[in-house]
Amino acid sequence: MVHPTDPSFAYGWALQRNPRTFAGADATGRTVLVTVDGRQPDQLGLSVPEEAQVARALGMRDAINLDGGGSTAMSIGGRLVTHPSDASGERPVGDAIVIR
């Protein structure tokens, strides 16, 4: 995550707390999906190291960071259950994980 021409990149992307979405598998092979709100006074988000700690605490053996920031959202049964971090509300995105 080092960009020699932009030393602030690592801070802004990895070390600063942001809304995050990540997925992983636990020891039994179950898929775990996590969405964390952020950029609000009562919803701070996570840094990437904190995200790894949460993944471990949830028993994930393998995990991957997905999109984050204003693209982070979770909907259950067609109802948004997270709080968009963008002032304008939900951000349109071109990808999703759908479970039926």
In a domain, 25, yes or no: yes
Question: Which one-letter DSSP state was computed for residue 18?
Answer: B
The predicted model scores a pTM of 0.86
Query: How confident is the model over 28-50, as a mean pLDDT?
Result: 95
Q: Residue 30 above 80 pLDDT?
A: yes
In a domain, 4, yes or no: no
pLDDT category at 9 given cuts 50, 70, 90 is: confident
In a domain, 88, yes or no: no
Residue 20: is it exposed, middle or buried by C-beta count within 10 angstroms (0-12/13-18/19+)?
buried
In a domain, 38, yes or no: yes
- Domain region containing 40: 9-80
In a domain, 19, yes or no: yes
Q: Where is pLDDT greater, at 64 or 9?
A: 64
Which among 67, 71, 68 is positioned nearest to 89, based on CA atoms? Answer: 71
Q: Residue 1 above 70 pLDDT?
A: no
In a domain, 92, yes or no: no
Total domains, the chain: 1
In a domain, 50, yes or no: yes
Beta bridge partners of 64: 23
